[in-house]
Amino acid sequence: MIRAALMLLCLALPANAAPEEDSVLAGLSQNRIAITAAFDGTELLIFGTVKRSAPMRGETPPGIIVTVSGPSQEITVRRKERWAGIWVNRAALKINRAPSFYAIATSGPLTEVLSFTDDLRYSVSIPQAIRTVGAAHTVEYTDLFTDALVRIRSRADLYQNNESTVNILEDTLFDTSITLPANLVEGDYVVRLLLTRDREVISTFETEIYVQKVGLERFVYNLAHEQPLLYGLLSLVLAIGAGWAASQAFRFVRG
């Protein structure tokens, strides 16, 4: 009787039943950033939870990786060399894709939470986020050009490597913050979270932030890109008006 009941129970279960994998969910302190004349940067708070399929029993604690990537751009990096007593641009490398902003935050040292193979697969670290495929074969030591780009943008806080800044509470809740500088480019910024175990990615989550100029800054930006002739004429009129006003003020002071 008991055996028959067990057989019926086994038949009732799906033939391909398998345990669910852990996943990650997250939220942002803001989904839209407005750039105004007074904008001097902002702090983005990222928080979330690890949705577990079963209670944790002695396995390796999870790793959390957060990346924030701005719109990608094609950029040419040039190297200056001294020639005939002056510095001139010589060798150049065209980079097919370089994020205008890229920040990475991790729950531990990157090499301890992510394998080199998955770094290549998911383009997580800053060097892997820069695409140089199709670069001119005549350029030697292409790594020197990409290193120079990373160094220059890191000084401007456009590239950030924040290891061990993701706080994990009880292997379930986590939070971190990333500073967005004032010199942001307009567009969609992709926030990506990767959940790892044993240095392998087991779950990912993505969301977006929209960065846009507003107010007078937006008007000037649109005018310059959509009606450049009118923008140039207005700039000329404003320059002449400012010069005339300055001369009148100087005469009044000398009065």
From first to last of its 255 residues, the chain has per-residue pLDDT tens of 434 443 343 444 444 433 446 788 888 988 888 887 778 889 999 999 988 766 655 567 789 999 999 999 888 887 777 676 677 666 777 888 899 999 999 999 999 999 999 999 999 999 999 887 655 555 666 778 888 889 999 999 999 999 999 999 887 899 999 999 988 988 999 999 999 999 999 999 999 999 887 765 655 666 566 667 766 777 777 788 777 777 777 777 776
73-83 confidence digits (pLDDT tens): 888 887 777 67
Give the H/E segment covering residue 207. Answer: strand 200-213
Task: List Cα–Cα distances, 126 to 69, 101, 162, in angstroms.
Answer: 10, 10, 11
Biggest CA–CA distance in the chain, Å, is 115
Q: What is the DSSP string of 61-129?
A: PPEEEEEEE--EEEEEEEEEEEETTEEEEEEEEEEEEEESSEEEEESS-HHHHS-HHHHHHHT-SHHHH
Query: What is the model's pLDDT at position 139?
Result: 62
Query: What is the model's pLDDT at position 60?
Result: 73
Query: What is the model's pLDDT at position 83?
Result: 72
Residue whose token pair is 């030697």: 140
Q: Are 131 and 95 in contact (CB under 8 A)?
A: yes
Task: List Cα–Cα distances, 172 to 46, 49, 50, 64, 168, in angstroms.
Answer: 14, 5, 5, 10, 7
Q: What's the CATH class of domain 20-213?
A: mainly beta
Query: What is the model's pLDDT at position 121?
Result: 94
Burial profile 39-57: b = 16 or more Cβ within 10 angstroms, e = fewer: beebebebebebeeeeeee
Q: What whole-number distance in Å separates Cα of residue 97 and Cα of residue 135?
A: 11
Q: What whole-number distance in Å separates Cα of residue 205 and Cα of residue 54?
A: 20
Q: Which amino acid appears at position 179 of this protein?
A: T
Residue spans of the domains in the chain: they are 20-213, 215-255
- Cα-only R_g, the chain: 27
Query: What is the model's pLDDT at position 19?
Result: 41
Query: What is the model's pLDDT at position 247?
Result: 77
Query: What is the model's pLDDT at position 232?
Result: 74
Query: What is the model's pLDDT at position 132?
Result: 73
Q: What whole-number distance in Å separates Cα of residue 71 and Cα of residue 80?
A: 27
Query: What is the model's pLDDT at position 124?
Result: 95
